[in-house]
Amino acid sequence: MNNYHIYDKLGRGKHSTVYKGRKKKSIQYYAIKSVDKDQKARVLQEVRTMHALDHKNVLKFYAWYETTNHLWLILEYCVGGDLLSLLRQDVKLPEASVHDFARDLVVALQYLHSHSIIYCDIKPSNTLLDENGRLKLGGFGLSRRLSDINKTPYQALPQAKRGTPCYMAPELFSDDATHSTASDLWALGCVLYECAMGRAPFMNSSLTQLMQDILHKEPAPIPSASPEFGDLIMRLLDKNPATRMQWGELIAHPFWQVALPRVEMPPEPMLQAFIAKYNLAPAQDEQAGDGGGSGGGAGARGG
């Protein structure tokens, strides 16, 4: 770490602090994350994940170092801060801004899922903005590869590694839950809802009541939402992971105006086993006319 100057504190978590830093004898600035040494296993998992990623909407990882008391991650510096700070300033965003931010988040998440990575903790504080207003996903401490999900059951994870409760999908409160692309898409819906409404769809100071709300209540409608945006949110916040909007429908949804490119997704045996165990899949006649996830199919079901 002797090669870096460390300046202002950018943020602080339970086990980490993020600083603005500069590499000596250069004009290159970085976000430098200092993490408590007892978090080494988690940090190495995060490093392994981020090291393999290369996408314009995913925070860049450059290097990591170990000192006597801390681990240090050298990350891309985003001058716009995080989405949570922006929402605290503006409270809520117009739909045009939500559209642009949503598109950035969707392509980032599509990239991760296509590389067999489940993010597991989508929320405004993990979403950063660069100097051009482009959103980037950061904070990969809870992310999991599908191969790891298949080996280590959800029940073996401590509560703190399961996700942030108000962004967790209903199925994640089940005794035999599993992280999946479907649970990530639920969290995406929560963040887009929060951008438009200034608050998450479900909030409660009591974890027990929050869980009950997520399981049984419907979120308040977004008053100013266009039919396309309202349908997108409703489909992402479908409580059933089997009927929740999937990638084929998401990329073709009319909210985007121009469809997103299609990317091949890996199989998810744990999710399919969960759906089969609880008989969550719709009957065949309900699936008829889905059209492989076309925008029209999404709109028809949303109505």
Query: Catalytic site residues?
Result: 121
Measuring CA to CA, how many Å separate 45 from each of 131, 143, 156? 28, 9, 16
- The sign one gets for the Cα dihedral 231, 127, 148, 113 is positive
Question: Known binder of ligand: residue 136?
Answer: no
Q: How many residues does the chain have?
A: 303
* DSSP conformation class of 135: E
Locate 187 and state its tokens.
């969290």
Both ends of the chain: CA-CA distance in Å? 56
Closest C-alpha to 239, from 170, 160, 294: 170
DSSP 67-115: -SSEEEEEEE--TT-BHHHHHHHHSS--HHHHHHHHHHHHHHHHHHHHT
For the annotated binding site, the residues are 33
For the annotated binding site for ATP, the residues are 33
